[in-house]
Amino acid sequence: MQKELVIIGAGGHGKVIADIAKWNGYQNIVFLDADKSKKNCGKYQVIGTENMLADLSGDIIVAIGNAADRRKIQERIDRSRIATLIHPDAFVADDVIIGKGTVIMAGAVINSGAIIGESCIINTCASVDHDCILSDYVHISAGAHIAGTVKIHSNTWIGVGVSVSNDIEIAGNCVVGAGAAVVQNIAIPGTYVGVPAVCVKQRKQSSLSDFQ
């Protein structure tokens, strides 16, 4: 029997996930998207909107970059159907814990003792070193490097090429801009940029953030 996967979100991120799904043995891959004008995502068909989900069989993964939107959709899905995808060219230590709905892309490295929450994105050639804890819906962008024993709370987006020093804790609902260097704890939700990273915009605590 063919392995089937439904991908919600027919954008560039979805294309990459579809390729990882192929390497994970899925033969029948289709997309759903809120934009009814979309008919294809790469070589795969967009067959309708999320409203069709109950009529489709197979596993499901949400391919939407925005953490709040990703959470809203994933929390409506039967947990038994949520896929976790790891590219075969990623290195993941054998004691790493990975939550449902998480995607780990080509060239990523996740070292021993790390805990990765639900629906996280560990993007192309990113690294998460030993004993890090990433809460749900965290996105580590391409080429970002997280040193050992870092804790990142939910809904936080770590931008392209960011570096985070060891033993750092980063609040939920943050955005760390591309190329920034985080060298001290970030306790206040907001947008942080620069070397070293400084806050340029504070944000109210989101009800979607755990801040544990």
Give the CATH number for residue 52: 3.40.50.20
* Domain stops at, among 46, 61, 81: 81
From 130, 139, 145, 153, the catalytic residue: 130
Predicted structure pTM score: 0.92
Q: Please give the residue range of the domain that contains residue 62.
A: 3-81
Taking the C-alpha atoms of residue 57 and residue 210, their distance in angstroms, rounded to an integer, is 32
Q: CATH code at 166?
A: 2.160.10.10
Residue 27 and residue 56 in one domain: yes
For 39-88, what is each residue's pLDDT tens digit? 999 999 999 998 888 889 999 999 999 999 999 999 999 999 999 999 99
Residue 44 and residue 74 in one domain: yes
Q: Is 130 an active-site residue? A: yes
114 touches 188 (CB < 8 A): no
Taking the C-alpha atoms of residue 176 and residue 73, their distance in angstroms, rounded to an integer, is 24
For 158-210, what is each residue's pLDDT tens digit? 999 999 999 999 999 999 999 999 999 999 999 999 999 999 999 875 433 33
